[in-house]
């Protein structure tokens, strides 16, 4: 099993500091009172490109040798990783080749273009994405930066929890959403190295519960037809993220769609901040009483804030 060392996480934090926000940690009197807890929300919705993905992308891009970097980086993604990678490549002044499905929303296409990303469209199937990406890599010599199954990406994502634990070293519980497991494995490593006591619990939509089932089964069970409003959590675990999660995450709980929407709206109303559905999944688990946070210092990673405000789910 390969996983980043304590020193590698520290190096990542130093490497990316120039290009990310050290995001604020917010508290809410309402939530503390309601849940008789002491809640600390790490606001990655305020992060560059609106999501924690900036961290991993910059760390991966700036970990490349000059020779490798010169050929650029490539990925297939229609989400936050695509924007984050395009921005990270722009910071290093190298090309970013992004494969996107031809039905990707215009706003996401324009965001990637805005950062100078070079987009190749393909049919909206995983096969088409992967074969198109392979072609591009063969032609350009670009390095693939996988959205989560990549050690440097994991190191970068770990820095969100590292910042949170540095400010609040006595946190008991860390709640984190899980999709492909990049943020989760990074968070779990951060807790392992930089906390004396923090337990990491992952939270997943019941309608995309492949991580939950994989965790129970002890082997990766790929996601089949996931259908959740939390569109950042549709992906399956990878062979790098899964072993880290098995070793360092204490449990995975699942939540209903209604709870995700309720949690998301509560955060808008009570904390006056904008989060995307994926970011609301840990609070949804608290609302469903799947996790007992009473009288515990509880950290929640609010993973991002990129949501279509013209189609809010309530």
Residues of this chain that bind a copy of itself (CB under 8 A)? 24, 26, 29, 45-46, 48, 50, 265, 268-269, 272-275, 305, 309-310, 312, 314
Q: Which of 37, 54, 63, 78 is catalytic?
A: 78
Cα–Cα distance, 108 to 160 (Å, whole number): 24
Shortest distance in whole angstroms from residue 275 CB to a copy of itself: 8
Residue placing its CB nearer to a copy of itself in the complex, 181 or 305: 305
Residue placing its CB nearer to a copy of itself in the complex, 15 or 48: 48
Shortest distance in whole angstroms from residue 269 CB to a copy of itself: 6
User: What single-letter DSSP state applies at residue 102?
Assistant: T
Cα–Cα distance, 192 to 250 (Å, whole number): 11
CA distances from 184 to 154, 157, 314 (A): 9, 8, 28
Residue placing its CB nearer to a copy of itself in the complex, 66 or 269: 269
Distance spanning both ends of the chain, measured CA to CA: 43
Q: Which of 53, 108, 223, 303 is catalytic?
A: 53
User: Contact 177/245 with Cβ under 8 angstroms?
Assistant: no
Coil, helix or strand at residue 40 = strand
CA distances from 43 to 23, 95, 172, 209, 258 (A): 6, 29, 18, 25, 23
Residue placing its CB nearer to a copy of itself in the complex, 294 or 309: 309
Residue placing its CB nearer to a copy of itself in the complex, 29 or 218: 29
Cα–Cα distance, 52 to 23 (Å, whole number): 10
CA distances from 120 to 82, 123, 130 (A): 12, 10, 12
Q: In the annotation, is 113 catalytic?
A: no
Residue 303, phi-psi category: left (phi > 0), alpha (psi -120 to 50), beta (remainder):
alpha
* Structure token pair of residue 196: 């004396």
Shortest distance in whole angstroms from residue 307 CB to a copy of itself: 9
Cα–Cα distance, 53 to 63 (Å, whole number): 16
Residue placing its CB nearer to a copy of itself in the complex, 151 or 301: 301
Cα–Cα distance, 90 to 84 (Å, whole number): 10
Q: In the annotation, is 53 catalytic?
A: yes
Active site members = 53, 78
């Amino acid at each position: 099993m390969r996983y980043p060392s304590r020193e590698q996480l520290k190096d990542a934090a130093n490497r990316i500091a120039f290009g990310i926000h050290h995001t604020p940690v917010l508290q809410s009197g309402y939530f503390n009172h309601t849940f008789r807890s002491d809640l600390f929300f790490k606001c990655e919705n305020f992060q560059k490109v609106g999501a924690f993905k900036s961290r991993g992308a910059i760390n991966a891009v700036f970990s490349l040798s000059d020779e490798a970097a010169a050929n650029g980086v490539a990925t297939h993604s229609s989400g936050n990783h695509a924007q984050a990678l395009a921005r990270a490549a722009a910071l290093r002044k190298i090309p970013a080749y992004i494969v996107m499905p031809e039905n990707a929303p215009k706003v996401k296409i324009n965001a990637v273009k805005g950062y100078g990303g070079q987009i190749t469209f393909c049919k909206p199937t995983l096969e088409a994405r992967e074969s198109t990406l392979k072609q591009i890599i063969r032609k350009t010599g670009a390095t693939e930066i996988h959205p989560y199954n990549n050690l440097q990406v994991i190191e970068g994502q770990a820095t969100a929890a590292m910042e949170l634990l540095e400010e609040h070293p006595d946190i008991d519980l860390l709640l984190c959403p899980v999709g492909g497991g990049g943020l989760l494995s990074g968070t779990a490593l951060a807790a392992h190295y930089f906390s004396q006591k923090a337990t990491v619990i992952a939270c997943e939509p019941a309608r995309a519960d492949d991580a939950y089932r994989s965790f129970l089964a002890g082997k990766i069970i790929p996601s089949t037809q996931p259908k959740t409003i939390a569109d950042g959590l549709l992906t399956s675990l990878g062979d790098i993220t899964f072993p880290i999660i098995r070793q360092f995450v204490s449990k995975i709980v699942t939540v209903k769609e209604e709870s995700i929407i309720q949690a998301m709206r509560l955060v808008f109303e009570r904390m006056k901040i904008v989060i995307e559905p994926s970011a609301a999944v840990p609070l949804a688990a608290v609302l469903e009483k799947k996790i007992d946070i009473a009288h515990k210092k509880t950290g929640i990673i609010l993973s991002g804030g990129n949501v279509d405000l013209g189609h809010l789910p309530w």
